[in-house]
Amino acid sequence: MIELKVNGVQRSFDGEPAMPLLWYLRDILGLTGTKFGCGMALCGACTVHQNGKAIRSCITTMQRAAGTEIRTIEDLSAHGLQPVQTAWMEVNVPQCGYCQSGQIMQAAALLHEKPHPTDADIDDIMSGNICRCGTYQRIRAAIKTAAGERA
């Protein structure tokens, strides 16, 4: 039995320990805000927070999630929109929106570590998250907007 905390709720899982956290979140808990994009940690659509750090849930097995605290996009705004989400809306970042949960979770983790990221910081941390619609310059602008709000 694997024990973990998801969005503040204690959970136990008795399935295959090799199952990626992504599919546990989506298919078993019904937390579909976290997206499947590639299954190989190449696109970042599945990004969630594990003990506060951004991780790719598509390659994180349940075994490796055991005993940790997982936070998904659904919980990021549980107590009101986060500055990063407000900024995303202000800048009208999304087109199709499918990758944006992952982008927002990645950006939130970035801003937590570096409240005032440089362009190089943003490139460095955000280049693991693909947006096929190509909203990158708005993502960059939204991150800077969110950073300003925190200042």
Partner 1 sequence: MNSITNVSRRGFLQGILSTGAFVISVQLLPESLFAADVPVPSPADKATLHPSVYVGIDPDGTVYIIAHRSEMGTTSRTSVPLVLAEELDADWSRVKVQQAIGDPRYGSQDTDGSHSIREFYGPMREAGATARLMLIRAAAQQWGVPEGECTTEPHTVVHKASGKKAGYGDLVAAAAKQPVPKKEELHFKPKSAWRYVGKGQSSCDLEDICTGKAKFGMDSHLDGMVFASIEHPPVLGGKVKSYDDKAPLQVKGVQKTILIEPFTPPHHFQPLGGIAVIADNTWSAMQGRKKLKPVWDNGPHAVYDSAEYKKELQATARKPCKVARNIGDVDAAFAQGGKILEAEYYLPHLAHASMETPVALANYRDGKVEVWASTQNPQGVQEVISQKLGIPKESVVCHVPLLGGGFGRKSKPDFAAEAAILSKQVGRPVKVVWSREDDIRFDYYHSVSALYLKAALGPNGLPTAWLQRSVFPPIGSTFDANATYGSAGEMQLGWADLPFNIANIRAENGPAVAHVRIGWLRSVANIYHAFAAHSFADECAHAAGRDSVEYLLDLIGPPRIIDVKASAPEYENYGGSPTDYPLDTARLRHVLQVAAEKSGWAQFKPSKGKGVGIAAHRSFLTYVATVVHVEINDQGEIRIPRVDTAVDAGLVVNPEATRNQFEGAAVFGNSLTRFGEITATNGVIDQSNFDSYPVTRMNEAPYKTNVYLVESDAPPAGVGEPGVPPFAPALCNAIFSATGKRIRELPLSKANLAA
Which of the ranges 49-57, 63-71, 108-116, 138-146 carries the binding residues for partner 1, by CB under 8 A? 138-146
The neighbour count for residue 16, using CB atoms within 10 Å, is 12
10 Å CB burial of residue 66 (0-12, 13-18, 19+) is middle
Q: Considering only residues 11, 64, 98, 149, which one is a binding residue for partner 1 as defined by CB under 8 A? A: 98
What mask of x and - would describe binding to partner 1 in positions 15 to 54, judged by CB under 8 A? xx--xx--x--xxx-xxxxxxxxxxx-xx-x---------
Report residue 102 as tokens: 């992952």
**Residue 144 engages partner 1 in binding (rule: CB under 8 A):** no
Least distance to partner 1, CB of residue 32, Å: 4
139 versus 147: smaller Cβ distance to partner 1: 139
Angle at 124 between CA 120 and CA 129, to 5 degrees: 130
Which of 4, 29, 54, 73 binds partner 1 (CB under 8 A)? It is: 73
The residues, ordered by sequence, that sit 6+ positions from 134 with a Cβ below 8 Å of its Cβ are 95
* DSSP reduced 3-state for 61: strand
Q: Which of 65, 71, 74, 117 binds partner 1 (CB under 8 A)?
A: 74
